[in-house]
Amino acid sequence: MNLLILGAGGHGRVVREVAEATRQYENIAFLDDNTGQSDVLGKLSDYDKFTGQFDYAFVAIGNAVARKKYQEFLMDRYEIATLIHPAAHISPSVSVGRGTVVMAGAVVQTNSKIGAGCIISAGAIVDHDSVVGDYCHINAGAIVPSMSTVADMTKVDYGAVYYGRTDDKWIEEHKRQYGTEPSFF
């Protein structure tokens, strides 16, 4: 399998290393508007030119608006990769959306949901029964406490604790799905 990464900056290089660590991809290359690097095949707008050469694509752009825009462009042309570093801990009950990267040392606990196009950085923690919306960035060392909801396109900065406890509607949904009151202990 081959992987085309849109964005060859610092975040893109980390994404490449996560992809390499999964050992799923034989060939990994970049598109970036700064084409001076040897592994950059062309500009971001050239994504249509490589549909026959790459099975998978991934958008490694930090800006959430741009990340969403390019991922939506790619969806009809490529399989969108979801990249989880083998040194991350992801509970088997977690769902992770397409185009999300979970980096080394991140922890995502029981019954959490991670949306599409998210960045879960190194050492970030998403505790149990939390929902991280689409195109969010949970930065290095940040903590999303249990039973929190992070709205789409939100960035939780380095080392921050996000106070987004859920409302009664979410608790009712938890009872409907699991048949029990959610536990905070």
Q: Which active-site residues does the annotation give?
A: 128
Contacts of 166 (CB under 8 A, 6+ apart): 131, 147, 148, 149
**How far, in Å, are 92, 112, 113, 117, 131 from residue 179 at the CA level?**
19, 17, 18, 30, 19
Tokens of 116: 């599409």
